[in-house]
Each structure stands twice: as structure tokens, then as C-alpha cells.
Copies of this chain bind each other. A is one copy, B any other.
Amino acid sequence: MPRPETNAADHAMGADLIAVVVAVTAGEPRVLTVADGNTGLPSGPFELGHRSLQSGLRAWVERQTHHPLGYVEQLYTFADRDRTGGESGRNIISISYLGLTREVRAPGGQEVAGWQGWYRYLPWEDRRGGVPALIDGAIAPRLRAWAEAAAERGERGERRDRLHRAAITFGLDGQAWNDELVLQRYELLFEAGLVAEARRGAACDMPPTGVPMRHDHRRILATGIARLRAKIRYRPVVFELMPPGFTLLQLQRAVEALAGQLVHKQNFRRLVEQQDLVEETGRMTAETGGRPAKLFRFRRAVLQERAVAGTKPPVARGPAAGS
């Protein structure tokens, strides 16, 4: 198979690096966007001058947002021609990363980038105040209509499948809500034509399903949130988002912000403390409104002590076990 030098789509064969940079400020989860309308994630092409993918990513984010990057992990590599908008000049391949930091105030003066609450783009993901009216009011009925549309074309199985997927992902019909299915929910809305990115032409009759982003950036944001929500359960990554000293309630609020749901306070504290994730700083804060709380700091040592938690299946002990 010969390798063509050009093609009709005018796409380049290189790769773009895209970052989902997250912070939690004032109990709200935020994502770093580029200044131009806050509609895109920081990104740029991987170039021969970059030592590695990560260093290339850091360079682009810092250039576009003047914000330093801390913890970084790779998310996913996309290459769908039909989902990136089809503009010429852009690379086909997108390598996406998740970054965790604390929001900083513009230091040099120029505020080039904007931190945006991420539920602005995916409003149905925030259930801290109960199930959003958007779901029962707009999403659920429109998804049911979408299923019926398949039925009217005679595709009975497709109808059942669509209803089932809607119920699983959005917790309809008595199904439990699963906060990790962020990407599946967005993709379902995309397939059903209920997000602006899925419409080529006019956006008439579009339900208020959040602010759209350029290219497939909303999909990448969804991927990042999904990964973060999953990871927070078995790795102490929340602390990358916390200031040096924090109260347990602040920590809890951060977790709730990310997960989009409230957690049981006492059990959350027990979990954190019995895992020795934090240690007291000895100081207190009275700024919480009620009884002053102890200030804690993350025990960085745990990152070395325990490699991973990792759920475990029934493992046999002795060398000749399994009988």
C-alpha cells in the first residue's frame, strides 16, 4: 500500500496534543480553556522539537494559557475524520491528556486563558443539587422520541436498544446513576442529535444541552471527566487539586464537585483517615462558619508506600493452593 503524500481532506498526518486541565476552585470543578471564547481546550501540534509528548503538551499549554502544568496523564488518542470538523490544516490524530492543578491568579498580568466551570459544557453531569430538571424535562423525552423514530422506521430492535442505552446511561426507569459514564452519555446525545456538535446545519429545535465546544473538544472533556471520576476512587489524585492545607469538608466538597454527587460525610472522613492519606498540620481554621476545623495536609509519602490499591479478586495463599 503506497503512502499518498496529499489527500482531499487536507489533513496533515502528524498529531495534535490536547489538554484537559482541571482545577477545583470554590467548590466548583473548572477546566482550562483558551481565551478565544472559552470554546476550545489548549492544544497544538506535536513537533520535532519536542522531547516527548508530555513536554510538547506542557509547552503548548503554557504558551496558550500561561498556566504551569503539574500532574499529567495520557487520556486517549482519537483519529476520527468525521468528528473533528473537517477543517484543513489540522492533524487527524489527537492525543489527549488530563492535567490536574490549582487555579492561579494571573501572575504576569495578562490573563490569556479562562477557567470555566465544566458543568457549563455538560450540565446534566451535576447532581449535587438533586437530579437536574434538564434530564427529566428535556433529555429523557427527546431520547425516547429518538427511540420511537427508529421504531417508526420498523427497527424494533434498534428502538429497544436505544431505550436501554438511555436508561443505563442517564439512570432512567429506576436504573442507578453511574457517574463514570460521562463519555457514554455525551456520545448518546451526539448520536441522537441532541448536542450542537452533531448538527451540521442550523441548530434549530436544540434542547439546552450545555455550551458546545469547537471540534471534538467536548468529547475530550467528557473523556477527561470520566477518567478523573474513575481514578479518584482508587488513587489519591484529588490532592493534586487541593491547596497545601485544607479541612476535611473542603476535601469532601472537592470530591463532590468532581463526582457530581454528594457523599456521606462521616463515612468519607473515616475512609480518608483510615487510609492514612492525610496528617494534621496542627493548625485550625475558623473560616468555615461553624466549629473550627483542623487543617490537614496530604501525606505525600503514601504515593511511595503503597504502589496502588487495586481491587483484588479471590487470590489463593499457599503455593499449592486452589484445592
Of A76-84, A104-112, A276-284, the one with at least 4 CB within 8 A of chain B:
A76-84
Main secondary structure of the interface of A (DSSP, over half): loop
Once the chains bind, are B49 and A315 in contact (CB under 8 Å)? no
A127 nearest CB neighbor, chain B only = B319
Judged by a CB distance under 8 angstroms, whether A15 is at the interface is yes
Min CB distance, A102 to chain B, in Å? 22
Min CB distance, A158 to chain B, in Å? 14
Of A21-29, A34-42, A118-126, A255-263, the one with at least 4 CB within 8 A of chain B:
A255-263
Looking at A48, A52, A59, A230, the one whose CB has the most chain B CB atoms below 10 A away is: A48
CA distance A12 to B315 in the complex (A): 46
Judged by a CB distance under 8 angstroms, whether A288 is at the interface is no
For residue A224, which residues in chain B have a CB less than 8 angstroms away from its CB?
none
For residue A263, which residues in chain B have a CB less than 8 angstroms away from its CB?
313-316, 322
Once the chains bind, are B322 and A46 in contact (CB under 8 Å)? no
Min CB distance, A159 to chain B, in Å? 14
A178 nearest CB neighbor, chain B only = B307
A307-B184 contact in complex given A3-B48, A130-B319, C-beta closer than 8 Å: yes
Once the chains bind, are A314 and B178 in contact (CB under 8 Å)? no
Judged by a CB distance under 8 angstroms, whether A13 is at the interface is yes
Looking at A7, A46, A79, the one whose CB has the most chain B CB atoms below 10 A away is: A79
CA distance A13 to B232 in the complex (A): 35
A265-B322 contact in complex given A46-B93, A49-B4, C-beta closer than 8 Å: yes
Contact residue range for chain A?
35 or more
A175 nearest CB neighbor, chain B only = B307
Min CB distance, A262 to chain B, in Å? 4
For residue A7, which residues in chain B have a CB less than 8 angstroms away from its CB?
48
CA distance A184 to B164 in the complex (A): 40
CA distance A312 to B304 in the complex (A): 24
Taking a contact as CB atoms closer than 8 A, the residue among B80, B130, B323 that contacts A265 in the complex is B323
A319-B4 contact in complex given A263-B313, A308-B181, C-beta closer than 8 Å: no
Once the chains bind, are A313 and B1 in contact (CB under 8 Å)? no
Taking a contact as CB atoms closer than 8 A, the residue among B3, B45, B95 that contacts A3 in the complex is B45
Between A and B, 6 residue pairs with Cβ closer than 8 Å are A3-B48, A51-B81, A74-B77, A164-B304, A181-B308, A230-B310
Q: Which residues of A contact B (CB under 8 A)?
A: 1-4, 6-7, 11, 13-15, 45-49, 51-53, 59, 63, 74, 76-77, 79-81, 93, 95, 129-131, 164, 168-169, 178, 180-181, 184, 230, 232-234, 252, 255-256, 259, 261-265, 267-268, 271, 304, 307-308, 310-316, 319, 321-323
Given contacts A53-B79, A181-B308, A261-B315, 9 further A-B contacts (CB under 8 A): A1-B49, A4-B48, A13-B14, A53-B77, A184-B307, A262-B316, A262-B321, A263-B322, A265-B322
